[in-house]
Structure 1
Amino acid sequence: MDTIRLRDKEFSLFITEQEIREAITKMATRIKADIKESNPLFVSVLNGAFMFTAELMRELDGPYELTFARYSSYKGTSTSGEVKEIVPLQTDIRGRMVILLEDIIDTGLTMEFVMKKLLDEGAAEVRVATMLFKPEALKALLKPDYVGFEIPTDFIVGHGLDYDEMGRSYKDIYKLNE
């Protein structure tokens, strides 16, 4: 589909499923080379990262431990600026390398909050893998370790990303028509 409609907004095709798969395969290759024989804990940040996480873990194809956490700072199409922990991490991270799996980083404030929290709780190291990164929107002192795509500041949906909880199930990524 070239365009989709969610509630009161129209979106146009931005990144295809095939482009997403290729980026995830490249990212998995880099991660495997970097972590070698270590035993990192992968933490998928819900809800948006569920599709990215499933595809990345399939590409990593190893004995890695995976868990989930949920944080939120969004209402509608913009960030509230306040990070809320909705589903806390349930796994002991002391002394471990943690790789956070995120769908998108824009301001970076949520990831900065989560990284600091995990380091304060005893993680030996925290890395970030994100499918999408908006460097122009960044407000935090943060540089993701692994990035699928650097994109402009457009609002996007699909492939796990939503607009008021709608649109996550699309296999492609769409950007808001202004």
Structure 2
Amino acid sequence: MNNDIERVLYSKEELNRRMDELAKQLTAEYKDQRPLIISVMTGAVLFTVDMIKRMDIMAKLDFIDVSSYYGGTSSTGKVKLVQDLKSDVRDRSILIMEDIVDTGHTLKYLIDLLKERGAKSVKVCTLLDKPEGRQVEVKADYVGFNVPNEFLVGYGLDYQGYYRNLPYVGILKPAVYEKD
């Protein structure tokens, strides 16, 4: 897998350092709110787990699975709800945990869905934000890193289901996905 990486963008140490900083912010923000933390499957699971271990708050955790990529390297723009939440969001403070905000389609879909269901507030924490990829106006409230418009893998991010287990975020060599 490592041979397929053009270069490492953020090392394991850099990721850990930034997550410590984000966790302090989130702990201060949510200390008295008992939020529902929603992890967007599957990419955000590693980030979510590492973050909630760092946060000193009372919170519940749930998962939602949505897709707009369908195994490719770019968003189709059509978001599909694959697995819904088990929790009722009505009158709850919601914190969406995302691995990356790229086109914005998925995030806009989720925010609108949660607001329609009566959430008291909806905020977003993303490890990575790719503003150059944005097609829909949407903004994360907490951002780990702003990233270049490259195809990234590692630490939850995948290409066709692979590379999620890399302990860092790297740029995938174009030769890997251009052959498909």
- Structure 1-normalised TM-score? 0.93
Residues 1:155 and 2:151 are matched in the alignment: yes
Paired residue secondary structure (2:97): strand
Partners of 1:92 and 1:84 in 2: CA distance: 20
Paired residue secondary structure (2:111): helix
Residues 1:94 and 2:121 are matched in the alignment: no
Query: Which AA in structure 2 matches 1:90?
Result: K
Q: Deviations over 1:91-116 (max 9, x none)?
A: 01100110000000001110000100
Paired residue secondary structure (2:68): strand
Partners of 2:79 and 2:96 in 1: CA distance: 16
Partners of 1:170 and 1:36 in 2: CA distance: 32
Residues 1:42 and 2:37 are matched in the alignment: yes
Task: Please say if residues 12 and 174 of structure 1, whose CA atoms lie closer than 8 Å, have aligned partners that are also in contact.
Answer: yes
Give the unaligned 5+ runs of structure 2.
175-180
Cα displacement (A) at 1:22: 0.8
Give the unaligned 5+ runs of structure 1.
none
- Which residue of structure 2 aligns with residue 141 of structure 1? 137
Paired residue secondary structure (1:152): coil
Residues 1:73 and 2:68 are matched in the alignment: yes
Extract structure 1 runs of 4+ deviating beyond 3 A.
none
Partners of 1:17 and 1:23 in 2: CA distance: 10
Partners of 2:7 and 2:82 in 1: CA distance: 31
Determine what percentage of the aligned residue pairs are the same residue. Answer: 36
Cα displacement (A) at 1:45: 0.3
1:23 to 18, 31, 38: 18
Partners of 1:102 and 1:58 in 2: CA distance: 16
Q: Deviations over 1:82-136 (max 9, x none)?
A: 1010010110110011000000000111000010000001101100000000011
- Structure 2-normalised TM-score? 0.92
Cα displacement (A) at 1:40: 0.8
